[in-house]
Amino acid sequence: MENEELRDTITVEDENGVIRDYRIEALFDMEEDSYALLRDGEETLLMRIEDEDEEQYLVGIEDLQEKNSILDAYQIAVEAAPAD
């Protein structure tokens, strides 16, 4: 896919110290939180963006119901206003 080369990437270290590079598929706000949708070809991550001391951090979403609600709402928004 041609657009994949144009995407920004980010490096994420998990709780086990494993480091992986992900493409940033989307950044979006929902209610009062901001989220990042990341992909590495094998895995898709949804992470909350949190601000602390003028820095931003990505935090994993543990609650499966919360994650599914956010992804469902995101999908509805994308379908209502698809990108060109």
> Residue 37's closest CA among 62, 1, 13, 70?
70
7 or 73, higher pLDDT: 73
Domain boundaries, the chain: 2-80
How many other CB atoms are found less than 10 A from the CB of residue 73? Answer: 13
Asked if residue 1 has pLDDT above 50, the reply is no
Model pLDDT for residues 31-83, shown as the tens digit of each residue: 899 999 999 988 889 999 999 999 999 998 989 999 999 999 888 888 888 77
Residue 59 DSSP SS3: strand
pTM across the whole model: 0.78
Q: How confident is the model at residue 84 (pLDDT cuts 50, 70, 90)?
A: low
Question: What sign does the dihedral 64-74-31-58 (CA atoms) show?
Answer: positive
